[in-house]
Structures are given as structure tokens and as C-alpha cells.
Structure 1
Amino acid sequence: MILKKVSFIITLFNEEKDISAFLDSLFEQSALPEEIVIVDGGSKDNTLDILINYFQKKVKDFDLKFSGNILFDTLDGINVKIFQINGARISEGRNFAIKSAMGEIICVSDSGCILDKDWFLQITKPFQYSRELCVVGGYNYAKAKNFLQSCLAASIMPKKEEIKKDKYMPSSRNLSFKRSAWLEVGGYPEVMDYGEDMKFNFNLRSKGYEINYNPEAIVYWKMRDNLSKIFKQFFRYAKGDALGKMYLYRHLVRFFSLIVLTAIIILSVVLSPWFLLALIILFAAYSFKPYRRINYIWDNPKISPYIVLKKYGGIKKILSKTIAIFFIPFLLTYIDLAKLSGYIYGLFCRKT
């Protein structure tokens, strides 16, 4: 089934580890868009070769023709365009892809994700029932393959019932919108290298656009797999918040919390270790939402299939959950330090 007047766009950069799995999920969809536009930002690894080989193996007579910086052909009735633009940032790549696309409805996701088989149907479904509707976002499941990724999922990924529709701000790993809305807000903000999707959301809301939430439009998002990558991820997000003048209140709360934490540690050293009891209470409150997600993450094969089904069972699972209770507060603190550092850095980088 081909969805008429629908284009799918994606940007890539050094995605050789994840691109094949993403493409598999793309072409296993119950419905496909009329057009696929891919922009590679100048990958230094084998991303582009893997991408082209994938399409060539998909259809034996698929012959990508080269013209300038574009590779293009038609695959089973789907127009495919592949660009390589060296140095293009995510926002620039997305805007270029949308300008190059023909569809009235634009669907967006990221490599590093896996699309649910009905994603295209669900992310475009609300448009069928309302002509006024211009933006739709879906629900993201974490994809965790080890203990650290599971703890990260519990720390940052809300359950469906936690999401408030009136405050919902979707990531562009799971989004669709009408071209007209994108044009009115001036596209993705190209001055931002990270956080551009949230700023895009704020710009849409400022123009009066409602963001529709469809929890059945599902994308699986691979969690970062080491502490260095996690720090870099949230540092960049917070830098984007500062550059885009977003979430000031959240970052002020984070800064104040760090001051309180430091004060309690100093008091426990200088005056009495009993002050550490306050730290335990604060950590418990701090980790309340992640704690409520532990069973949901650890026991959910959609999120942690390798942990749930193959490695962890019985006493081992109980032990893993217990360790998570102690580890999550420190992971949250680590993430907040990354955010605080990134936000301060972003303030210095901001010109106005």
C-alpha cells in the first residue's frame, strides 16, 4: 500500500552500525510513503555504501543514477532520492530533504531507531479525520540490550500514561507534519546543531498549531550504551536548550538542586553525617518516576527483549532491579550534570 502525497525524510551521519536495521523496519511497513528522501551529512564511515548496496540488493534491476550530489530511482512505485551534503547539520539536512520532497505530508524519523510495522499508517492517520490538523507525534519505546541502557530507559523514557497530551512535545524521531506548517515557521532552525526539533515544536505552537499525540505511532529508540555517550547526548541537548531559549525554568531547578545537594554533602562532613539522611530522602524523591518504571522496563520484552527473555530471570532479575534502585539516582545526577554543563556552555555560545 502506497500513501499518496506522503514523503518520508531522514538525515544520516556515520550510521553504519544502525542503518541496515532501520532500513529493514522501513521496508517491512504495512504501508509506505510515495517518496523517500535521504540526506547523508558527509559520513566518514561506510554509511553511504551500505545504503546504496541495500537498495541494489532490494531490487535486482535497481540502478541508482548519479547526478550532482543526488542518487535517485524508483523502487516499487516509491520515488527514492539520496543526497550527500558534506558538513550538513541535522536541521540543514532535514530542511534540504523537505525542500527536495514532493509530498504534502512529511514524515520524519532517525537512524538508530526501529519503526513499528504500522508506523506510517499511524503517524499519518489523524490527518484523515481533520483537515485543520497539521502536526502529529507518536510514542517512543526505549530499546535496551543491557543493564545501563535499561537504567537509562527508566530514567528518561515516560510510560504512555505519563504523557500529557496538552504539553506533548514530540521528538523528530517520530513526527509528521504538513508542508504548509513547516513553511510558515521557517523550517527547522538551522542555527542550532542540537535541540532543533524541540525549537521547531515551540515555533509551531507559537503559530497556533496543535500537536496531535497518537500513541499507536510507535518508534523504538536505541539507548546510548556507555556513560561517555550519555554525557555527550545530554550535554548537547541542554546546549540546544540554551541556544533556543527553551526550558529555562527546568534548568534553574536543576541548578538549585545541585546547590542543595552540595550543601548537604558539606554539612554532613563539617557538622554531622546525619545530614546524609536528608540526601537519601531527596534521592528517593528525585528517583520516584524512574523507580515506578523499573518493573515496566525490566519485564517488557518490547523494551528489553535481550534482558527479559534471554539473560535475566528469577533471582538474577530481582538482583538486577535491586542494583538499579541504587544506581539510578547516580545516573540521574550524572545526566543532570551533563545538562547543567551543556546549558552553561550554550549560554556562552548564544549571541543574543
Structure 2
Amino acid sequence: MLNKDNVTVIMPAYNEEKHIRDAVNKVVNQKWSGNLEIVVVDGGSTDRTAAIMKEIIPTLPPNRSLQILYNPQKHIPVSLNMACLHASSDIIVRTDAHTYVPDDYVLETVNTLEEIEYQGIAGGRIIIYPGEETCIARAISLAVRHPLGVGNAAYRTLGSDVVKPLDVDTVPFGAFSKALWEDLGGYDESLLFDEDYDLNYRAREKGYRVVLNPKIVLTYFSRKNLNLLWKQYFRYGFWAYKFCQKHKIIPSIRRFIPAAFVIGFFLLLLVGFFWTFKLFGLYLLAYLLPIIMVSLYEGLKKKRGMLFSLCLVPVFPVLHFSYGLGSILSLIKRK
């Protein structure tokens, strides 16, 4: 029988001095009358992340505790396994230092787990805010939640009209029993990214459910410039294909299209040098036309302005090329 009164919230962090205080306080101030054990694993931050957490500890109420662990390897799945191993509760709720959770996050995720008799992983959807208040940052925050940018990931694109919990392939972060974590062998530390998707996939393969409760809405801050966005999605593409290689599965359409597009782009460019650029021009036009139309719609029709449209146009190619090139490199470097 699980003890539902005590919950452990786990959070990996690295150089998050801008967000860590608010991220931790959002957990501390949960509408949860039971005990909350907060375990933050610092991946060797070089800023004030650890110092800020130490400042929070003396201010905690009696039914809240904050413990700081240190992960010299820095990698997120290692941090998550350290936190889960350290957890003293039967129920584990994962969050992130770059994400703010609603004040009913623990309550709703635990209730959702209870509804499926703790035989699975429960999570919510995310709303995405700009990493800073600039035009390009606002454009990035829209692109990473737009179907043209990320495909059909339910937790990013789910509309507010959906109100009932539904079974999905993955949820961001999520909550689960410690027994489930042990049964799955923890997070795969060989996958430096995509660790959540991998855990969700292995859970489904073992017969567990992965349930998204639309009432759970998390706030995520997207990257603030194109350089950081490129690095992030290049890693996503690389490790998404490592995940597919590990499980010997064919990438989903959402994961396959960027790599296929990039391969087609360079093949037709090569054909242009030796024959004609007409095919390449048509290919490029067919690619850019929907991007321009979406950018104009989001900027002008939604009254964000022409400058927003101009900022949005380059964001989609950055998403597609970085993810696609990361995927291709992953295929080349199979080991």
C-alpha cells in the first residue's frame, strides 16, 4: 500500500540562477497538506544556483524539506536517478528548474496516478513563454509550440477544449511510483537527452499507462535566441535517433521528417551544381511558402505586427535544420 501523504519532488538543475528560486518556491507553495520532500540535483553549476537553494532552506515550513545533491557527471538522467534513489517517498513527481509548476501540480498528478491505480506515469501539458522579452524570443516561444515547428506532440499542441485525461505516448516530466522507477531500471543514463520519452516508452512496453491530464498546465521558458535554440534542437535530433537505435524502432513521422527534409535539401542542391537548380528552387519554394504564410498569419492576423512575422520566418528553418542535422549525425555515429 502506497503512502500518499508523503511525496518526493525531484528537480535537476544546472546554472539556473535566473529561475531556481521561483521554481523551488512554486513547489514549496503547493496546495498539498502532506509532506513534500524536494530533491534538487545540481549538475555542477558555476553561477549562484546552489547558493540560492541554500538561502531557501531556512525559510521552509515544517512539512517541506529541500535537499541538494551534486552530480559531477552533469548529465540529466544521472541526476534524475540520483534523486529517485535518494527519494524517501513512494510517489515521485519530476519537475525542472526551467519550468514553473501550477500550485495544484502535485495534487493533480497524484490524483491522476490514483485514478490509474499507480500503474503508469501521469503528467500534463505545457504552455511556453519567451526566455526574454525580445521579438526573436517571442517568435521562438511560438514556433516551438506550433505544429509546423514540433509536429503533433500532444503536450505542446493540445487545445484548451480538451478537458478529460487521455492516454498518450509521452508526457513532460511526469509523476510515478518509486516502484515503477525500480521496475523499469530507472532512467537510461546512456541517453543524455530524450530520457523522459525513453522512460515513457519503456513503461508503455511493459503495460503501464502514460496519461496526460489537461488540467495540469506547466509553464516552460523557451530558449532566448537562435543560437541556443539551434544547440537545443540539434541535441534533441541526435538523441531522438539514438533512442530509436536503442529500441530498434523506426522513427515516428514527427521525428523522421526533419532528417528527410535536410537530406532532400542537400541532394537537390548537389543536383543543381551538376545539372539544374530548378528542382532545388521548387523544393525550396515548397518549403518556404508555408513558413511565410504561417509567419504572416501569426504576425498580422493575430495582430502581433510585421516585425514579429519577420522574426518568426527564420525560427522554423533553425528548428528543422538543427533537428534534422542532429538526426543525420546520430545515424552516421551509430556507436
Matched, 1:323 2:310: yes
Cα offsets for 1:22-69 (capped at 9, x unmatched):
12322232226531112112222221111101223x25xxxxxxxxxx
Q: 3-state SS of the aligned residue for 1:238?
A: helix
Residue 79 to residue 121, structure 1, CA distance change in 2 (3 Å): same
User: 1:83: Cα distance to partner?
Assistant: 1.4
Residue 255 to residue 86, structure 1, CA distance change in 2 (3 Å): closer
Which is further off, 124-133 or 208-217? 124-133
User: Residue in 2 aligned with 1:255?
Assistant: 259
| Map 1:1-352 → 2, pairs under 5 A | 4-31=5-32, 33-56=35-58, 58-59=59-60, 75-131=61-117, 133-144=119-130, 145-157=133-145, 158-161=156-159, 165-172=166-173, 175-245=174-244, 248-250=251-253, 251-262=255-266, 263=268, 276=281, 279-285=284-290, 294=298, 317-324=304-311, 327-328=312-313, 330-351=314-335
The 8 Å contact of residues 39 and 94 in structure 1, kept in 2 or not, is answered as yes
2: distance between equivalents of 1:191 and 1:5?
31
The 8 Å contact of residues 7 and 37 in structure 1, kept in 2 or not, is answered as yes
1: distance between equivalents of 2:6 and 2:127?
28
User: Residue in 1 aligned with 2:151?
Assistant: none
Q: 3-state SS of the aligned residue for 2:5?
A: strand
1: distance between equivalents of 2:197 and 2:126?
15
The 8 Å contact of residues 236 and 326 in structure 2, kept in 1 or not, is answered as yes
Alignment root-mean-square deviation, CA:
3.3
Query: Structure 1 stretches (4+) deviating beyond 6 angstroms?
Result: 272-275
The 8 Å contact of residues 268 and 276 in structure 1, kept in 2 or not, is answered as no
User: 1:267: Cα distance to partner?
Assistant: 5.4
Q: 3-state SS of the aligned residue for 1:14?
A: coil
User: Residue in 1 aligned with 2:149?
Assistant: none
Residue 136 to residue 319, structure 1, CA distance change in 2 (3 Å): same
2: distance between equivalents of 1:269 and 1:320?
38
User: 1:255: Cα distance to partner?
Assistant: 3.0
What percent identity do the matched residue pairs reach?
Answer: 21
1: distance between equivalents of 2:283 and 2:330?
32
Q: Which runs of 5+ in 2 are unaligned?
A: 146-155
User: 1:176: Cα distance to partner?
Assistant: 0.5
Residue 30 to residue 228, structure 1, CA distance change in 2 (3 Å): same
Which is further off, 218-227 or 16-25? 16-25
The 8 Å contact of residues 196 and 240 in structure 1, kept in 2 or not, is answered as no
Q: 3-state SS of the aligned residue for 2:109?
A: helix
Q: 3-state SS of the aligned residue for 1:187?
A: coil
1: distance between equivalents of 2:279 and 2:331?
37
The 8 Å contact of residues 171 and 211 in structure 2, kept in 1 or not, is answered as no
1: distance between equivalents of 2:320 and 2:283?
19
The 8 Å contact of residues 195 and 240 in structure 1, kept in 2 or not, is answered as yes
Amino acid at match of 1:255: A
2: distance between equivalents of 1:343 and 1:55?
42
1: distance between equivalents of 2:326 and 2:276?
33
User: Residue in 1 aligned with 2:148?
Assistant: none
Q: 3-state SS of the aligned residue for 1:161?
A: coil
2: distance between equivalents of 1:165 and 1:275?
42
Q: 3-state SS of the aligned residue for 1:29?
A: coil
Residue 244 to residue 159, structure 1, CA distance change in 2 (3 Å): closer
Q: 3-state SS of the aligned residue for 1:198?
A: helix
2: distance between equivalents of 1:249 and 1:292?
29
Cα offsets for 1:255-283 (capped at 9, x unmatched):
33224445279759975779746643433
The 8 Å contact of residues 41 and 84 in structure 1, kept in 2 or not, is answered as yes
Amino acid at match of 2:67: K
TM-score of the two chains, using structure 1 as the length reference: 0.76
1: distance between equivalents of 2:40 and 2:284?
49
1: distance between equivalents of 2:298 and 2:157?
11
Amino acid at match of 2:99: C
1: distance between equivalents of 2:207 and 2:238?
26
Q: Which runs of 5+ in 1 are unaligned?
A: 60-74, 300-313
User: 1:323: Cα distance to partner?
Assistant: 2.7
